[in-house]
Amino acid sequence: MNRRHFLSSAAAALGASALPAIEPINRKGKSRMMLGLAAYSFRDNMKWMKGKENTKLKAGGPAWDILDFIDYCADQGCPGAELTSYFFPPDCDEKYLLEVKRRAYLRGVNITGTAVGNTFTHPKGEARDKEIAYVKEWIEKSTIMGAPHIRVFAGTVQKGSTPEEAEKNCQECYDECLAFADKKGVFLGLENHGGIVAEPEPLIKMVRAAKSPWAGINFDSGNFHTEDPYGDMAKIAPYAVNVQLKMKVKPKDSKEGEPVDTARVLKILKDANYQGWFTLEYEEKEDPFVAVPRILADLKPQLA
């Protein structure tokens, strides 16, 4: 992957304000996408949830750990597994992370990345420090298990703050984490996840201002609740470093939403020459053990 800019040591010496903004990712060759599956699709069947035992486990269903999810991806013939951080055990250490890496390799499954539930809109202080430390911890863990990408959130406007202050705080946090990710070779994909990035313009602005070759957007097809969700997807697609497909799109004032037009999403990504993982993140009410295999089977020929 090549970007239209390179951060030379001479430019770095001038300081961040002198560095050029990130431009859309310039990829050689034609668009190519590989199928992935997010562990979040089975959130009600995962043994752990954010460091605690999952209290929402479905009765009679399995209680998986991350290794079980990797096996499921292999059994489904799905080449990529997104290992959401929420489902790792609380005592997750280097030994466990290396076993995750080993299991994935032996089962022929690529670890496409992980995802964290951070908030970057806190002002300077203890709360911000905690969020930054949390993201940096998962950058380290991603390095150990060979995960090349982390989905990160921006956040919402904090109480007593303003949208402008929230954007400034987010930029500072994102930049600090990127400086660490730069040294580890891990992408930080800022997701269109509501809050201060509910519309494409603030999100693009922050990613462009990041000035890091490891910055980008985690493209989520279901998270724009605007007048024109597909048009907004097209705006962020040139900056995408990872893609998550939801099964519904919810335009403004649509309570239930409507089925995603997968072919349209794929065209948007192909027009942007996106090359990378196209990951199913299943969130619907139907049992994922019934729905996910069917959806994966439908997606495989579309990505061939």
pLDDT along the chain (304 residues), means of 10: 37 40 88 99 98 93 97 99 99 98 99 99 98 99 99 98 98 99 99 98 98 96 98 99 98 94 99 99 98 99 96
Query: Residues 279, 242: contact at Cβ < 8 Å?
Result: yes
What pLDDT score was predicted for residue 188?
99
Tell me, what's the pLDDT at 71?
99
Distance CA 155, CA 169 (A): 10
Element housing 111 (H / E): strand 110-115
**Tokens found for residue 126:** 């203890």
pLDDT at 80: 99
The whole-number pLDDT of residue 21 equals: 62
Contacts of 154 (CB under 8 A, 6+ apart): 120, 121, 170, 174, 190, 191, 193, 195, 196, 197, 203, 206
Please give the pLDDT value at position 107: 99
Query: Which CATH architecture does the domain made up of 26-303 adopt?
Result: Alpha-Beta Barrel (3.20)
Q: Give the separation between CA 155 and CA 92, rounded to whole angstroms.
A: 26
**For residue 211, what pLDDT is reported?**
84
Instruction: Compute how many other C-beta atoms are within 10 angstroms of the C-beta atom of residue 199.
Output: 16
The label of the residue with tokens 């490891």 reads 214
> Domains of the chain: which residue ranges?
26-303
Q: 200-209 and 229-236 helices cross at what angle (nearest 10)?
A: 10
